[in-house]
Amino acid sequence: MKSAILCIGTEITSGLVKDANASFLSQNLTRVGLSPKYILFAPDHAESILKALDFYLDDEEIQCILITGGLGPTEDDLTREILSDKFRKKLVFIPREWDKIVQFYHRLRNTIPPENNKKQAYIPEGSALLENPIGTAPGFMIQFQNKKIFAVPGVPKETEFFWPLIEERLPSNDSQFYRTEMVKICGIGESQFGTDIQSLLNHLPQSLHPAYLPFFGEVWFYLYSYRKDPELINQAETIIKKIKTNWRQYLFSDWGENLEEACGNLLRKLGLTVATAESCTGGFLSHRLTNIPGSSHYFNRGYIVYSNQAKSEDLDVSSTLITTHGAVSEEVARALAEGVRKKTGADLGIGITGIAGPDGSSQEKPVGLVYIALANQQSTVVKKQLFSGDRLTIKTLSTQTALTMLYFHLQEKIPHGQ
């Protein structure tokens, strides 16, 4: 038994907006044993939407279809009309839904809704209403032959809200999908990790599969199967346990969902604080560290010292040092890390300086050259990196390297077994 996802919106197919709903829904559908057979994207165009819908309806293996988007108040929002025509069900006005829209506008905007919002109070006759307290468009479910078709708004926070309402109406199934916990490591590449764990995977049963997810200097790994055999689960968990033991130095998933959370949890456990001095990353590292709830316990402060003047005035980096070695240099990165640690009194200081591009490079110092320094009371470590990619990629990889350096430093202070 399979599911299918259809995400509607010209803003998605034209690349103006990155879709988040397909990822969210596919993860949850897989979790409940209804992994998507297909995920399609369609613009706000009736013919395209109908072709995608017909493709799904013709597949006997697909038992539920999740549609996001196209439930807004404007002319290009076509989902309810298309489904109404397709299944020959007239659109029925729901007065209480219109009342909710009126109240919504009054409460949040102190005004009355435009007349075109009234179309959001219509759903196809005979469909099950899915109420929406956080937006103006309700969702609905249509039963067609052996399939359930769900239509919900495409705003990601609203799609996420509807998931529990969808889940309780999903068809029962005897799927045996199984997935181990996710192992997340940093500081090593996918190819090296895959090579080193291959000996553990050489004798996997055919029904147990490995999955690698490389992501900006991280590798996420898990094992999955479409069987829930106790012996298979025991074998999979034994392999995961061995990987976690052998790769403990690089493993951060035991400490948090992401690397910045893992660093934060270790900083709190050790009672340490950190401060940052960023040039080419423009505060991105500070953002990642402070994006974790409770970061006030360990994040002291961050400086964005983009210009040479700021480096000297804010953190006492010698202008002579900058002139001699250049702003993008090991020496300046070291001075930034040590300067911010000294000025703030934090236990750890991180300094980043580099060339994010596309301008500002030279033959000696190309785009992507970045120096990252980590200073504590006893010593300072500086790492030189040459990243490739666009400006945002270089900034992201720079902060990822800084967090990896921080994580490794903190890991060394944790007694084995804790």
pLDDT higher than 90, residue 178: no
Residues pairing with 183 in the sheet: 221
| pLDDT, tens only, 99-117 | 999 999 999 888 999 999 9
| pLDDT, tens only, 58-77 | 999 999 999 999 999 999 99
Whether the pTM exceeds 0.85: the reply is: no
Task: Tell me the pLDDT of the chain averaged across its residues.
Answer: 95
Q: What is the 3-state secondary structure (H, E, C) of 101-123?
A: HHHHHHHHHCCCCCHHHHHHHEE
Task: Encode 312-349: b = buried (16+ Cβ within 10 Å), e = exposed.
Answer: bebbebeeebbeeeebbbebbbbbbbbbbbebbebbbb
pLDDT higher than 90, residue 384: yes
Are 260 and 335 in contact, with CB atoms under 8 Å apart?
A: no
DSSP state of 365: S
CA distances (Å), 99 to each of 93, 138, 156, in order? 11, 12, 24
The structural domains of the chain, ordered by start, are: 2-167 (3.40.980.10), 178-246 (3.30.70.2860), 259-411 (3.90.950.20)
* Structure tokens, 297: 């316990």
| pLDDT, tens only, 24-64 | 999 999 888 888 999 999 999 999 999 999 999 999 999 99
* Structure tokens, 24: 């969210």
The alpha carbons of the chain give a radius of gyration, in whole angstroms, of 27
* Structure tokens, 171: 């068809």
| pLDDT, tens only, 186-210 | 999 899 999 999 999 998 999 999 9
CA distances (Å), 83 to each of 37, 86, 91, 282, 372, in order? 21, 5, 10, 48, 55
DSSP secondary structure, 44-99, as one string: S-HHHHHHHHHHHHT-TTEEEEEEES--SSSTT--HHHHHHHHTT--EEE-HHHHH
Is the bond into 358 cis (omega within 30 degrees of 0)? yes
Q: Give phi and psi for 392, each to the nearest 5.
A: -65, -40
